[in-house]
Structure 1
């Protein structure tokens, strides 16, 4: 049974997105936000969305502010219960 109310994609024309579901670049609101990366300022930026995401993920993995692994022995620091410690 089809839903009675469908959410319209949010976004504006002139904004570029990369659709993860269709693996295509789209302008404005075409696919639901859960299936998109963006918005990007240009079509070219949207075309490289997956590459940009991989680069950002790699930076995050190596950022000492977010890395819970003890560099000396390669293990996670824990709070004594086996749960990794978190700052904050």
Structure 2
């Protein structure tokens, strides 16, 4: 008997957006590397890419996540 062959079964009401198939799916049918979620509704899952883009933009503009070394400053001073 092979180890780790058991497939993850999704729970009803958990929605995912599959990046490979570009569609909303109930339960984790595709591998985790290919999906966003879980979301509470199919509508939330449908907007997964927009949600990710908004979060990425917030992260890129959040000064708490960008220290001086990331900007190329050695001593933290800005010119």
Distance change (3 Å), C-alpha of 1:10 and 1:56: farther
Give the one of 56, 72, 75 matched to 1:76. Answer: 72
- State the aligned residue count: 73
Q: CA RMSD in A?
A: 2.4
Higher helix share: 2
CA offsets per residue over residues 24-62 of structure 1, 9 Å max, x none? 000012111111100000100000000000000000000
CA contact (8 A) 2:14 2:39 kept: yes
Distance change (3 Å), C-alpha of 1:7 and 1:63: farther
Q: Which consecutive unaligned segments of at least 5 residues does structure 1 have?
A: 80-84
Equivalences for residues 46-61 of structure 1 within 5 A? 46-61=45-60
Q: Which consecutive unaligned segments of at least 5 residues does structure 2 have?
A: none
Q: TM-score, normalised by structure 1?
A: 0.69
